Amino acid sequence: MIKTTSNLQFEAILDTEQHENWSPKEAVDKLEQMLPTLNKPILIFSQTSRSAAFVVLLYLAKRTKEDPNFEARINSARLFKITATMGMDFTSDYYKQIVSEVTGEPKLEKPPVPNIEPKSWIEYWLAHPVYKNWFTAGQITKPVFPSVESAGFPVVVNVRSGKTYNGNPNQEEVTLVNVRENTGTYGKEVKKLRQSKDRLEDTRIDPLKPKRYVSENSDRNYESRNENDFGDDIGYNEEKEREYFTEYGKLQYLHLPIVSAAPFTKDVYETYRDRLLELGSKGPVLVHCAKARRAGFLTILAAAQQHNKDLAWALRRSRELGYGVSEETNPVVYETFVGVLGTDCSDGDRD
């Protein structure tokens, strides 16, 4: 399906149709054989991302051992540190032995263990562990609510904008198949809503895509509404998400809106700090926005304040999560981090 509808290369490292047994070392060998034939960049996935992450890290470790000029170098200690940072536990004797065989290093006796709660978080693998009980995610969709529940998240905090802001319409965009993003919900330049027929057709990513790219019965080659992401005829509708949480009835929901176009300042964080820390004192908290960026900034600060982490930890964690907060790249967010956490840093604060 991927090949025929998306014109993307697709190869299976593990052929589930042939019921192959899972072998990380064999998967690394297969990956190594395939890589020269694949276009870059490459997305490697598995059911929950856990197997994919382990295979990629094993591949890097194998290349490190075999090629002294290989740049993305990784040894046993670094591999286990990375997986722990990602919230993935590969510290059983089975995995430690595999890592030892691939790296040629002695088996690591006490590798770092993920410091997170709930341990079952990967049931909702779209979440990102920040620290201990704090997690982030992008937009949560209707079909994955059972996964969020089974992962052990009792509370979900939504920081996406509501329908209005200061009395004005303020709906964010909703993800639509084969439609470009970041073109503006309300059409300030062309004076037409993003989800009007004209704008949808004008902003298609690929106008030549077949209609079945959307679904087997679609009458167009783009999506005009996304109800699974709580979209209406205009864009993302927070009220629909709130209603669905109430209907589902098994997850606590809290809306703490952060306007996507507004700067993330100390005042924004402090508006919600007490409520966040109250939630965090009771257990795991999953914070989501559209793509986890706003949620990430907010959650890093909340985790730092709850667990007595400093600025250096927060900046490092932002890099590890892909946000890369620094004075040069994100000066406003950097100043917010400094304003909340101060500048005193302890060199030993590395977990």
Structure confidence at residue 5 (pLDDT): 72
6-20, 171-185, 260-274, 307-321, range with the lowest pLDDT? 6-20
Q: Is the pLDDT of residue 17 over 80?
A: no
All CATH 3.90.190.10 domain ranges of the chain, comma separated, are 119-164+237-341
Q: Output the pTM of the full model.
A: 0.93
- Which is more confident, 134 or 8? 134
Structure confidence at residue 18 (pLDDT): 54
Cis peptide bond prior to 210, omega within 30° of 0: no
Average the pLDDT over 313-328 and give the result. 95
Burial class (CB in 10 A: 0-12, 13-18, 19+), 15: exposed
Structure confidence at residue 350 (pLDDT): 58
Distance CA 225, CA 324 (A): 33
As a CATH number, domain 119-164+237-341 is 3.90.190.10
Structure confidence at residue 348 (pLDDT): 43
Closest CA to 56 of 30, 37, 81: 30
86 contacts: CB under 8 Å, gap ≥ 6:
53, 114, 129
- Which is more confident, 207 or 350? 207
Q: What is the pLDDT of residues 246-268, one digit of tens each?
A: 999 999 999 999 998 899 999 99
Average the pLDDT over 240-244 and give the result. 98
Closest CA to 245 of 121, 127, 125, 142: 142
